[in-house]
Amino acid sequence: MKSQIIDGKKVAEDLINRIKEGVDRRLAKGLRAPGLAMILVGDNPASKVYVRNKEKACERSGILSMMHRLPESTSEQELLALIDRLNGDAAVDGILVQIPLPQHIDAEAVLNSISPDKDADGFHPDNMGRLAIGAPRFRPCTPRGIMTLLEHTGAELAGIDAVIVGRSNIVGRPMALELIQVSATVTVCHSKTRDLPGKIAAADLVVAAVGRAEFVKGDWIKPGAIVIDVGINRNEEGKLVGDVEFGAASERASWITPVPGGVGPMTVASLLENTFDSAESRDPS
């Protein structure tokens, strides 16, 4: 069996176009464009690229990006004061602080200071808690994007056996909560899990979020399973690869996401979706 590729780039583009239509509808009714405030502290090269990509996506969707580029020397108090100001700014619907932050800043304190009503990344404990009790508001972007990709396959998710590899707060844990919401039976695996190949071999859906190049072997995949590869890694030749051995896995899976061009673009599109939803909840069009 040869897999169908889940084209995350295309699904993300379509989503951004739909958001643009929504923004245009708001403007036509005399409402303001949604606003996303982004804060980048320091010169981390990867963070600069991520933020630039998010800015470009905002431009395409009509969402206003409000960039705050701060020097590495910024104190925690200064950062907290800026977030406080943005929390009270009626033109701001979403606030994103790009992580990692410099060592002298307590990232948890900073992320927790973002108003849960403007938490575009969905990392605030209030929003994670709401997802955990089945009453989501802001949903973490990567798992939300994966749910959109799964909808795109048309697969029935209720009752399927899903295995998630990874339990981070930004991917694995909220992914488990998302899948429970749609009545999948969820197993969350991590570094202490016994017999990972055996667990994956029984799964109808595998979400790999480990951060290790081609860690999930193709011959572990159950024929016909859906494979979602969250990982972004460089292999020994410097090529960008996922957490799944793509070639071998795509001989067995029914659907599979490529790396790049799978989950990555959806994370950014879901950030815009969260920001748009926030503006709509503040003043609906």
Binding site for ligand NDP (CB under 6 A): 142, 165-168, 170-172, 189-193, 196, 209-211, 230-233, 263-264, 267
User: Based on CB atoms, which residue is closest to ligand NDP, 70 or 232?
Assistant: 232
The Cα 236–Cα 66 span in angstroms is 38
In the complex, least distance from residue 39 CB atom to ligand NDP, rounded to whole angstroms? 18
The string of DSSP letters for 149-194 reads HHHHHT---TT-EEEEE---TTTHHHHHHHHHHTT-EEEEE-TT-S
Residue 219 a catalytic site member:
no
The Cα 1–Cα 222 span in angstroms is 11
Catalytic residue among 93, 98, 222, 229: 98
Residue 103 a catalytic site member:
no
User: Based on CB atoms, which residue is closest to ligand NDP, 77 or 191?
Assistant: 191
Catalytic residue among 121, 204, 229, 243: 121
Biggest CA pair distance of the chain: 58
The answer to whether 11 and 263 have CB atoms below 8 angstroms apart is: no
In the complex, least distance from residue 71 CB atom to ligand NDP, rounded to whole angstroms? 26
Residue 56 a catalytic site member:
no
Residue 95's H or E segment, with its range, is: strand 94-97
In the complex, least distance from residue 228 CB atom to ligand NDP, rounded to whole angstroms? 10
CA distances from 44 to 101, 241, 264 (A): 9, 22, 19
Residue 228's H or E segment, with its range, is: strand 226-229
In the complex, least distance from residue 117 CB atom to ligand NDP, rounded to whole angstroms? 23
User: Based on CB atoms, which residue is closest to ligand NDP, 116 or 260?
Assistant: 260
Our measurement of the distance from residue 135's CA atom to the centroid of its chain's CA atoms, rounded to an integer in Å, reads 18
DSSP 70: E
In the complex, least distance from residue 242 CB atom to ligand NDP, rounded to whole angstroms? 8
User: Based on CB atoms, which residue is closest to ligand NDP, 182 or 188?
Assistant: 188
The Cα 90–Cα 246 span in angstroms is 45
User: Based on CB atoms, which residue is closest to ligand NDP, 26 or 173?
Assistant: 173
Residues tagged active-site: 54, 98, 121
